[in-house]
Amino acid sequence: MTLSRYASSSWRRLGAVLLLGLAGVVSSAMAQQDETPQQPLPPHEQAHFAAKTDEGVPLIIHAALDIPYAMPLLEDFHQRHPQYDITYRNFSTLDVHQRFLDAPAEADVVISSAMPWQYLLVNAGHAQSIETPTTRRWPSDAKWRHELFAFTFEPIVMVVSRALEERVGPINSHADLLSLLVEQSDALQGRVVTYSPVSAGAGYTYAIEESRLSPRYWDLVAALGRADTQLVDTTSSMLDGLADGRFDIGYNVLGSYARESVAASPSLRMVIPDDYALVIRRLAFVPRQAPHPSAARRFIDYLLGSHGQRVIAEANELGALHPELDGPGTANALRRAQPEGLRPTPLSPGLLATLDDLKRRALLSRWQREFHDQIAGKPVHGR
Amino acid sequence: MRGDSLHSRLLTWLLLPMLLVGTVVLWRAWLDARQTADRAFDRLLDAATLAIAEQAQWQEDRLWLDLPPAALEMLATQHDERVFYRLVDARGDHVTGNADLPGIDLSGRRASDMGYANISWNGMPMRLGVRRSRLEDWRLREPYEIRVAHTLEGRDALSQELFRQSLAYLLAVAVLSVAALIVAIRLALEPLTKLRRQIRSRDPRTLAPLELALPRELAELRDTVNELLARMRRVKANQERFIGDASHQLRTPLAGLSARAELALRQTDPQAWRTALSAMHATSQGASRLAMQLLSLTRLDNPEYQPQLTPTGLVQVAREAVMTHWQRCQRSGVDLGLDAPEGEVTVLALDWQLGEALANLIDNACRYGARHVTIVVTDTPPTLSVVDDGPGIPSERRLLALRPFHRGQQSGEGSGLGLAIVDGIARTHGARLTLADGGTAPSPGLSVSMEFQATVTPDDPPVTTRHSLS
């Protein structure tokens, strides 16, 4: 990595971001000077790679993928294609969606882990078809109409404290968790943390997926409610609380983000449940009105090609989907380790149902009923 | 030749309708394929709306839907169709789904019917299915409308698949039919080729009939050719006999001359020479007359000979003939007369030929022992006849008498060409030659008439002039 690879302001800012441990969201004034948007950009981080050739071709990527995870990919891509002047902006999933609706001709590539929202946009015809030898070879269950491409494989995991496991035995599945919550609900009061499906989009997405997978999910929700489970909005607040020892169990943590944190703290263990584990795949598409479609095409090609996928695999966090890659950090290795339980969310119109407003309200009210009824019901039992 | 062969004609006129029929069948197959694909995929719209309708309910004082994801999954096949849906209440207000998905006019249909339409929405062609239904609650019978739409990739793929199958089938049929057609035409035209080969391989001198088994249409052609060949055979036989007869006729006087000269050369008496010379002179005159007659007969028999006929007066011709032959007849004791109408009778003719004919007839009459010979001219129809009171010709032999070298009697010094020449002249003039009895007892006599066609109409100026003059 050399300094000259980055615009100096971005580099300094990025350094700051890395030092802050990804917690802070920095949007420098310098970054916003580069363009003249109709509306101010939502809060975001930005990285910039200046073109090394005289006539640089701009490439603007809007993503919901934290910069430290994107950095190895961007560096490698820039080294292979130095003619591109890359601007990478990282938003929250909802912001990246809203920003696209506000300015559909701004970004060349849109990346997000919010699969239903990405699917909604592409279904409505906002993406252009990318047909290259690479995209044609891409597995058909990881692409939709050559417009929407999944390029990572990230299981949703549990993070448990080793101290708890020493007391109560190993927790390896949802069934283990349910029986533990039922048996030890008093001991676990306030010691479990998960996404709030009401205020966190990811939490809602996982809830609707799990409720589709098994009706026993509602037993789990009720048990979580009885254990007075803490509801938070971000993976990082869950991981922070787990690292601090405030929580014993983190349920439904994005595995790609948990891996590093768990490796850093020996008191925690990451569990990919062996009965079932949701898998989300980050989705990328090229907007129909992308200002630099050929640059976008090249980037998608890179992302799905063996170079980009190898970088993803070697970073060992996002999970490379490329069918020919194997070894640590690939979907193939994960599938071998968990031959039965992996449940990747399919790229299908079912995702649209997730976004149905009435459906959302129905699910959330059921969820809250199951979650809170038990608390309200407790005194009844006690009476 | 290549441009207009029976082969290419048949092929063209059989292939053109086939092509037309093929086009119609293909068009029909395409429509059918589209219809089949639509029927198959409309079932998906139907099932999806049913699945959605099952989840419609009354909740929180409003129409509510717990959208089943499977209903949307149903609408997408492996072709990844785009999928849209919408729930609309009785007043047409939006409840949930894609807010601006249009509906279709279902008025006039039963309440629970499905309606389908091809629409273009947001620039995308798609198929829309609309179901009208109502809640099946105890009290609440709230009507609502479910709309689902998907893009056409699956339908297009299926209809193309079906069409490709029909196309392959039709192409196979077409190839087979064309092959069969070519073979059939070959077989049908084979006899024609056979006929051509046989005609080509014939000896050009032979006139033998074609012996060849042929289908009916060609058999008629073969029979016609064979008839022509038969006629040519007869003509050729006639010519050969004529040449034989002519040589024979000429050889006799020449042999006579030779014998007489030889005899005379043995003599020394100039008186004998003189006698011999005068006899030879008479013989050579006869031979020369024979040669003349043969010449004119040949000329008359030539079908290429088409003399220019001019208006000629028959009475004039008859009068000249009487004047020419009267003295000779008188010397041999024959009474030559003329029986003609007052005016002139004009026909299209050659006067010298008519004169020749009359000369031959008068000569014949004199030779075969007639005492009275009359040239008769009549007006309507224009006829020129020679009537005598000689022995005549029995009616069954009259036709034979017209053939060259046929003489009514074996004796006599005639050449046997006279009547043949007259016949030829009559044919040249398009006149009808009739042989009949002379009609004076005791001997039957002979009347030979040439009846001309009345080609000269009364209002023809030269003829009118002649009539007025005479």
Residues B446 and B437: their CA atoms lie apart, in Å, by: 5
State whether residue B55 sits within 8 Å of chain A by CB: no
Q: Is B77 on the interface with A (CB under 8 A)?
A: no
Least-confidence region, from A150-164, B239-253, B404-418: B404-418
Contact A345, A280 (CB under 8 A): yes
- For residue A91, what are its two tokens? 């938003």
Which residues of chain A neighbour B124 with C-beta distances below 8 Å? 125
Nearest CB to B65 within list A145, A212, A358 = A358
For residue A145, which residues of chain B lie inside 8 Å, CB to CB?
80
Among A283, A358, A364, which would you mutate to test the B interface (most chain B Cβ atoms within 10 Å of its Cβ)?
A358
Tens digit of each residue's pLDDT (9 = 90 or more) over A339-360 = 788 889 999 999 999 989 899 9
HEC states along B404-449? CCCCCCCCCCCCCCHHHHHHHHHHHCCCEEEEECCCCCCCCCEEEE
Instruction: Provide, rounded to the nearest whole percent, the portion of chain B with pLDDT above 90.
Output: 21
For residue range B6-24, what is the model confidence (pLDDT) as tens digits?
A: 888 888 899 999 999 999 9
pLDDT of residue A100: 95
CB atoms A353 and B76 under 8 Å: no
Q: Please state the rounded mean pLDDT for residues B152-181.
A: 93
- Kindly state the DSSP code that residue A287 receives in the 8-state scheme: B
Q: How far is B73 from chain A (nearest CA, A)?
A: 5
Percent of chain A whose pLDDT exceeds 90: 58
CATH top-level class for B216-301?
mainly alpha
Instruction: Give the side-chain half-sphere CA count within 13 A for B36.
Output: 14
Answer whether A3-153+281-337 and A155-279+349-382 agree in fold.
Answer: yes
- B201's tokens: 């391989």
B96 touches chain A (CB under 8 A): yes
CA distance B98 to chain A (A): 9
For chain B, the structural domain boundaries read 6-160, 216-301, 310-469
Contact A350 B73 (CB under 8 A): yes
B60, closest residue in chain A (CA to CA):
A362
Which pLDDT tens digit goes with each residue over B289-320?
Answer: 788 878 877 777 766 667 788 888 888 888 88
- φ/ψ of residue A38, rounded to 5: -65, -45
The answer to whether the beta carbons of residues B438 and B387 sit under 8 Å apart is yes
Chain B residues closer than 8 Å to A351 by CB: 69
Domain B310-469, architecture per CATH? 2-Layer Sandwich (3.30)
Supply the pLDDT for residue A176: 92
Rounded to the nearest angstrom, the minimum Cα separation between B35 and chain A is 25
- Got the DSSP string for B161-224? HHHHHHHHHHHHHHHHHHHHHHHHHHHHHHHHHHHHHHHHTS-TT--PPP-----HHHHHHHHH
Q: At B401, is the pLDDT very low, low, confident or very high (cuts 50, 70, 90)?
A: confident
Q: Tokens in use for B193? A: 């080729």
**Nearest CB partner across the interface for B72, out of A124, A125, A350:** A350
Asked if the model's pLDDT at residue A36 lies above 80, the reply is no
Dihedral sign, Cα of residue B171, residue B177, residue B180, residue B183: negative
Instruction: Answer yes or no: is pLDDT of B459 > 50.
Output: no
Q: Is the separation of the CB atoms in A76 and A40 below 8 Å?
A: no
How many helices (H) and strands (E) chain A has is answered by 17, 14
Which residue did the predictor score with more confidence, A382 or B441?
B441
> Tokens 């010449």 identify what position?
B295
Q: Determine which of B52, B60, B73, B80 to mutate to test the interface with A (most A C-beta atoms within 10 Å).
A: B80
Q: A221-235, B234-248, B400-414: which has the minimum mean pLDDT?
A: B400-414
Q: Do B82 and A123 touch (CB under 8 A)?
A: yes
Q: Are the beta carbons of A349 and B73 separated by less than 8 Å?
A: yes
Q: What value does the mean pLDDT take over residues B338-359?
A: 85
For B75, the closest chain A residue by CA position comes to A349
- Are the beta carbons of B124 and A349 separated by less than 8 Å? no
Give the chain B residue nearest A354 (alpha carbons).
B69
Task: Establish how many alpha carbons lie within 13 A of residue B333's alpha carbon, considering only the half-sphere containing its beta carbon.
Answer: 4
- The predicted complex's ipTM stands at 0.81
Tell me the percentage of chain A whose pLDDT exceeds 70.
87
Architecture of the CATH domain A155-279+349-382: 3-Layer(aba) Sandwich (3.40)
What number is the average pLDDT over the span B341-350? 85
Examine the pLDDT at A197 and tell me if it is beyond 70.
Answer: yes
CB contacts of B69 in chain A (<8 Å) are 212, 349-354
Mutation target vs B (from A115, A355, A359, A360; most B CBs, 10 A cutoff): A359
Q: Which residue of B has its CA nearest to A356?
A: B97
d(CA A191, CA A183): 14
Which residues in B41-174 belong to E strands, given as ranges?
A: 56-59, 62-65, 83-89, 94-97, 114-121, 124-134, 143-151
Nearest to A353 among B69, B82, B84 (CB): B69
Residue pLDDT, tens place only, B247-277: 887 888 888 889 988 988 888 888 988 988 8
Which strands, in side-by-side order, build the sheet including B94-97?
B94-97, B83-89, B143-151, B124-134, B114-121
Report yes or no: B329 and B362 within 8 Å, Cβ to Cβ. Answer: yes
Residue B160's pLDDT is 95
- Look over chain B and give the mean of its residue pLDDT values, rounded to a whole number: 84
Q: Is B124 on the interface with A (CB under 8 A)?
A: yes
**Interface contact flag, A123 B76, Cβ < 8 Å:** no
State the sign of the Cα–Cα–Cα–Cα dihedral A233, A238, A239, A244: positive
* B97 neighbourhood in chain A, CB within 8 Å: 356
Amino acid at B434: T
User: What CATH number is given for A3-153+281-337 in this structure?
Assistant: 3.40.190.10
Question: Which residues of chain A make contact with B121, given a CB cutoff of 8 A?
Answer: none
Q: Which residues of chain A are within 8 Å of residue B123 when distances are taken between CB atoms? A: 125
Q: Is B123 in CB contact (< 8 Å) with chain A?
A: yes
pLDDT in tens, B96-141: 988 888 888 776 666 567 889 999 988 899 999 999 888 877 777 8
Nearest-CA distance from A142 to chain B in Å?
A: 12
Entry field: residues in chain B: 470
Higher pLDDT, A312 or B110: A312
Q: What would the pLDDT profile of A144-168 be if each residue is shown by its tens digit?
A: 999 999 999 999 999 999 999 998 8
Give the C-alpha separation, B186 to B107, whole Å: 63
Domain spans of chain A, in order of start: 3-153+281-337, 155-279+349-382
Rounded mean pLDDT of chain A? 84
Q: Which residues contact B223 (CB under 8 A, 6 or more apart)?
A: none
Nearest to A342 by CA among A371, A364, A321: A321
A120/chain B closest Cα distance in angstroms? 10
Contact A284, A149 (CB under 8 A): yes
CB-CB contact of B317 with B384 (8 Å): yes
Confidence at residue B227, expressed as pLDDT on a 0 to 100 scale: 92
Residue B363: pLDDT above 60? yes
What is the b/e burial string over B89-101, where b = at least 16 CB atoms within 10 angstroms of the residue's CB? eeeeeebbbbeeb
Assigned fold of B6-160:
Beta-Lactamase (3.30.450)
* Cα–Cα distance for residue pair A91/A12, rounded to 1 Å: 19
Strands annotated E in chain A: 45-49, 57-63, 84-90, 109-112, 143-144, 148-150, 154-161, 192-195, 230-232, 249-254, 268-271, 277-280, 283-285, 342-344
Average pLDDT over residues A54-80: 91
Calculated CA dihedral for residues A168, A171, A176, A179, nearest 10 degrees:
30
CB distance B97–A362 less than 8 Å?
no
- Give the residue-averaged pLDDT of B323-346: 86
Query: What pLDDT, on a 0 to 100 scale, did the predictor assign at position A1?
Result: 31
Q: Is the dihedral of CA A171, A176, A181, A184 positive or negative?
A: negative
Tell me which residue of B67, B46, B245, B23 sits closest to B150, measured CA to CA: B46
Q: Over range A249-265, report the average pLDDT.
A: 89
Chain B residues with beta carbon closer than 8 angstroms to that of A357: 96
Q: Which helix (H) or strand (E) element contains residue A39?
A: none
Q: Label residues A62-78 b or e (16+ Cβ within 10 Å = b).
A: bbbbebbbbbbbbbbbb
Query: Under a CB-based contact definition with an 8 Å cutoff, are residues B338 and B319 in contact?
Result: yes
pLDDT digits (tens, 9 = 90+) for A88-132: 999 988 889 999 999 999 999 999 989 999 999 999 999 999 999
CA atoms within 13 A on the CB side of A224: 28
B67 touches chain A (CB under 8 A): yes
